[in-house]
């Protein structure tokens, strides 16, 4: 069996270091994890007036989450929190009331920053949000990645073997977490 993992990159930048991290994670992940990015850049701003008439971008977002058996969040830290674009996407996905796409879904959070604390505060904020959304989060290991161009030279390569093996272990643990959650809460790709 393979497991479908939808992933969010919290940055809209064309040169995002978090997209770079996502490429590395995909390269280092177990072979039976299949990845599809869930884009967030074209979503309008969430407005509950639209709960009865979701725009196509938001319908596509919810459908992409339903097609996933697990969700990976790869996000930068903006002003010690998560980027507005990512929060906006989560808000869309969580609504209308009673149709929260994240309910019981296996999830993991990770992020890269140029700063030394490696998105720790953004990840903690994101965990609060995902708790309320009732996602089944992997709580350990945590991964706070300090990006340097030497460490991530491009195309998902990771030059430092210790970092590569840490990221690979993180993805193996995520796979175990997904399997454990799905055993209790089977979630077909819907």
Please give the residue ranges that form the binding site for ligand FNR (CB under 6 A): 11, 13, 16-18, 76-80, 113-115
Identify which of residues 46 and 147 has a Cβ nearer to ligand FNR in the complex. 147
Identify which of residues 21 and 181 has a Cβ nearer to ligand FNR in the complex. 21
Of 170, 177, 184, 178, give the one whose Cα is nearest residue 142.
170
| Smallest distance from ligand FNR to CB 24, Å | 13
* Parallel, antiparallel or unpaired: strands 70-74 and 106-113: parallel
Backbone angles phi, psi at 9, to 5 degrees: -105, 120
Identify which of residues 16 and 168 has a Cβ nearer to ligand FNR in the complex. 16
- Tell me the three state secondary structure of residue 132: helix
| Smallest distance from ligand FNR to CB 78, Å | 4
Identify which of residues 3 and 144 has a Cβ nearer to ligand FNR in the complex. 144
| Smallest distance from ligand FNR to CB 130, Å | 19
| Smallest distance from ligand FNR to CB 84, Å | 9
Q: How far is residue 36's CA from residue 179's CA, in Å, rounded to a whole number?
A: 18
Identify which of residues 15 and 52 has a Cβ nearer to ligand FNR in the complex. 15
Backbone angles phi, psi at 151, to 5 degrees: -70, -40
Are 101 and 93 in contact by the 8 Å Cβ rule? The answer is yes
Contact residues for 134 (Cβ-Cβ < 8 A; gap 6+): 100, 102, 103, 104
Of 142, 14, 25, give the one whose Cα is nearest residue 5.
25
| Smallest distance from ligand FNR to CB 4, Å | 24
């Amino acid at each position: 069996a393979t497991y479908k993992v939808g992933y969010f990159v919290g940055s809209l930048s064309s040169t995002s270091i978090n997209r770079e991290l996502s490429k590395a994670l995909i390269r280092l992940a177990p072979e039976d994890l299949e990845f599809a990015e869930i884009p967030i850049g074209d979503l309008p701003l969430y407005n509950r007036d639209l709960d009865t008439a979701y725009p196509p971008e938001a319908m596509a977002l919810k459908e992409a989450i339903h097609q996933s058996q697990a969700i990976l969040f790869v996000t930068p830290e903006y002003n010690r929190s998560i980027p507005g674009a990512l929060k906006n996407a989560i808000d869309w996905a969580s609504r209308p009331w009673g149709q929260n796409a994240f309910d019981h879904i296996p999830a993991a959070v990770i992020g890269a920053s140029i700063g030394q604390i490696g998105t720790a505060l953004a990840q903690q904020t994101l965990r609060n949000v995902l708790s309320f959304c009732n996602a089944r989060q992997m709580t350990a290991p945590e991964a706070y990645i300090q990006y340097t161009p030497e460490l991530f030279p491009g195309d998902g390569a990771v030059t430092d073997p210790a970092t590569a093996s840490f990221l690979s272990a993180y993805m193996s643990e995520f796979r175990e977490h997904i399997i454990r959650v799905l055993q209790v809460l089977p979630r077909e790709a819907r």
